[in-house]
Structure 1
Amino acid sequence: MVETHDTMAPMGIRLSPLGVAIFCLLGVGVIYHLYAGVISNRVAAFRQGSNVDLRDLLALSVEAAVQGGKEVKKVREENTLDERTKGKTKEGASELMTLGDLRSHKKMFYLMKNTYPALKVNSEEHDSSVGEDEVWNRDIPSDILEKVPEGHEVPAHTVTVWIDPLDATQEYTENLSQYVTTMVCVAVDGKPVIGVIHKPFTGDTAWAFVGHGTNVRARTSYISSSPKVIVSRSHAGKVKSFIQDAFGNTTTITPAGGAGYKVLSLVEPLPHDTAATSDQADVYIHVTFIKKWDICAGAALVEALGGKMTTLKGEVIDYSGSEGNSGGLVATVGLDHKALLEKLPNWVPEKH
């Protein structure tokens, strides 16, 4: 491969044709790997440093919730729930999962991640099977275009997305479809700014972009002296005695399924949501542990209407860290939130 020549000319090495070919191949390989590394680093840097427009993200969140809802409704109508238990809650109740949860998760999670790979997306469910390959078509609903101007870009690394593919799974298995929702929340630096609550069995979708617009309205009046309080029907804890200590024994307490449903009970009913009219409430209170994908979308919706959702001690809930909130929950729209908090008894987390 290498030829040497013992002549009077200066000593040198000349590669044979085979050696030249191998040298060229090695050179191409080195250049390819260097180039690939540069491109990979640039892509990674772009994904971590790129901006996302929040109006686009709102439209995508609506689409994801609607697409997930279609899967939820289809599984329920086909009665192919494949119900199973995925563990116990902190209160000792079984946490159910169905095929509707999983199919909705796959549709919603991968639609978000395929469109914006840099985003951190937290979903209630996890699935190791092959994901969807669908990407958002970038269509923006007309009501969003009308109410939300463009130009709300934020760095992708400041965004955390919370997905609840099927809120009120317990009620879903009992065919209490009025409580079921799919939800998406977008938090920026831990603050909920976009909330979407979709009702698969009525087709209604509530959305809100804090400070910029929403398609729901607060009711014209709320009662603060003896408010109607809506609470969890499956994770109630000692909420009844807690509420009666605060507002008296005559206070109406309404158990209901799903955190999304309970938040919607605080506002004007959605166009096709006739069931929610009978469950309208003034306050939503929760006294046990609750996951952030259950409440983040509702927090954004309440905030967009000038209301508040805090812990029972009035603390702001951060939506960028751990999955759970152990401080209880109180949500109001159209009431003096601080004054209502002052009526609540001293609250101590329940031990199990």
Structure 2
Amino acid sequence: MPPMGIRLSPLGIGVFCLLGLGVLYHLYTGSLSGRLAAFLLGERAPAAPLAPLPPVDLRELLAVSLLAAVRGGEEVKRVRESNALNEKAKGKTREGAKELMTQGDEQSNRKMYNLIRSAFPELQINTEEHLDPDDQESISWDRNIPDQIIKLIPQPQEASAESITIWIDPLDATQEYTENLRQYVTTMVCVAVDGKPVVGVIHKPFSGYTAWGMVNGGSNVKARASYSKTPRLIVSRSHKGKVKEVAQLAFGNGTAIIVAGGAGYKVLSLLDVTDDKQEQADVYMHTTYIKKWDICAGNALLHALGGHMTTLRGEEIIYTGSDGNDGGILASIGMDHSALALKLRDKLPDLKSLDK
């Protein structure tokens, strides 16, 4: 007799398939066989976690920030001296004034951003001007830390790459730049760690003066030896808001008020700066909305020297998330900053109404 074949009913075939899938599932859940089962089932194994980025020496970031501010300043100066500003309006401020952009802004931004991006491609960079993706270039940097930094900060100061945000202002005081008020113009770079400003560079392209500082590290500039008991306030000439009224109401009608352009210039006015074009003040105050790339470098520089920059209410400004600060600015060094903020709060309980 011919051998008998095994014949499965449709029900038997279904049971066999279920048993087979059960075996594959068992293999899939096993630590070593899971990948094989996943392959047979057409599934992809979970991707291996990305390796953490190596820590960054903040001294290197300070060095490349210094170089970027100077290189950007060279572009700012070149465009101004060629008188090819090509100025245009890029929008309006909250007060309704035209917000200008020039060829100097664009060329400085291009140089500063590409230099820092080439040196630290893994870091987040926030910059004032838009950069066309096709306009990016690789700019080499030799990773040399200048002796002036090594002397003050001999040991590495490390921070995780994920915690760092860089803020670039390629041309501060654009309005004054177009009016050829060169003394107010600066280029600035700031490094924030976990939202706190720790490295600040402010460069004046037309005098060549550069101030820099690192919190808990050092600075190439100092606070002045003395400050006035009745503070001399420095305020904006192009974004005034109600700052004069606020100053006189809080500190008295006899308060001396200096009107100037550029947030970087105003911060330098609080310090012992060896630049004959730089005015001196005791307090920098601003009552309207301001972008964080305008103030981050000055905030870091003041903090490195024991000074303060806060909102008008005395609150710390966090340099992550939104690129704007709604709370106004109160900056000082060598004075009782808390007392200044308290006086403002006492005299002006509704500080939100000032941003108009």
TM-score category (smaller protein): 0.7 to 0.9
- The yes-or-no answer on 1:68 pairing with 2:72 is yes
Partner of 1:240: 244
Partner of 1:209: 214
Give the TM-score taking structure 1 as reference length.
0.84
8 A Cα contact 2:288 2:354, kept in partner:
yes
What is the CA–CA distance in structure 1 between the aligned matches of 2:87 and 2:311, rounded to whole Å? 32
What is the CA–CA distance in structure 1 between the aligned matches of 2:144 and 2:180, rounded to whole Å? 33
What is the CA–CA distance in structure 2 between the aligned matches of 1:281 and 1:45, rounded to whole Å? 50
Give the TM-score taking structure 2 as reference length.
0.83
8 A Cα contact 1:288 1:349, kept in partner:
no
State the SS of the aligned residue for 2:272: coil
State the SS of the aligned residue for 2:60: helix
- TM superposition shift of 1:246: 1.0
Alpha-carbon displacement from aligned partner over 1:201-247 (angstroms, at most 9, x marks no partner) = 011110000111000010011123x2100000100101011000011
8 A Cα contact 1:168 1:179, kept in partner:
yes
Letter in 2 for 1:120: Q
Partner of 2:311: 311
Superposed, 1:136-175 pairs within 5 Å as 136-175=141-180
Partner of 1:298: 298
8 A Cα contact 1:287 1:349, kept in partner:
no
8 A Cα contact 2:288 2:355, kept in partner:
no
Letter in 1 for 2:298: G
What is the CA–CA distance in structure 1 between the aligned matches of 2:193 and 2:140, rounded to whole Å? 22
Partner of 1:340: 340
What is the CA–CA distance in structure 1 between the aligned matches of 2:353 and 2:266, rounded to whole Å? 21
Q: Compared with structure 1, are the counterparts of its residues 351 and 262 closer, same or farther at alpha carbon in structure 2 (3 Å cutoff)?
A: closer
What is the CA–CA distance in structure 1 between the aligned matches of 2:50 and 2:118, rounded to whole Å? 17
8 A Cα contact 1:158 1:188, kept in partner:
yes
8 A Cα contact 1:238 1:287, kept in partner:
yes
Partner of 1:57: 61
State the SS of the aligned residue for 1:255: strand
What is the CA–CA distance in structure 1 between the aligned matches of 2:135 and 2:284, rounded to whole Å? 38
- TM superposition shift of 1:351: 5.5
Partner of 1:251: 255
Larger radius of gyration: 2
8 A Cα contact 1:230 1:262, kept in partner:
yes
Superposed, 1:1-352 pairs within 5 Å as 45=50, 49-128=53-132, 129-224=134-229, 226-270=230-274, 273-276=275-278, 279-344=279-344, 345-346=347-348, 347-350=351-354
What is the CA–CA distance in structure 2 between the aligned matches of 1:174 and 1:351, rounded to whole Å? 26
Q: Percent identity?
A: 59
Structure 1 residue ranges (4+ consecutive) displaced by more than 3 angstroms after TM superposition: 349-352
8 A Cα contact 2:241 2:355, kept in partner:
no
8 A Cα contact 1:84 1:96, kept in partner:
yes
State the SS of the aligned residue for 1:275: coil
What is the CA–CA distance in structure 2 between the aligned matches of 1:75 and 1:150, rounded to whole Å? 39
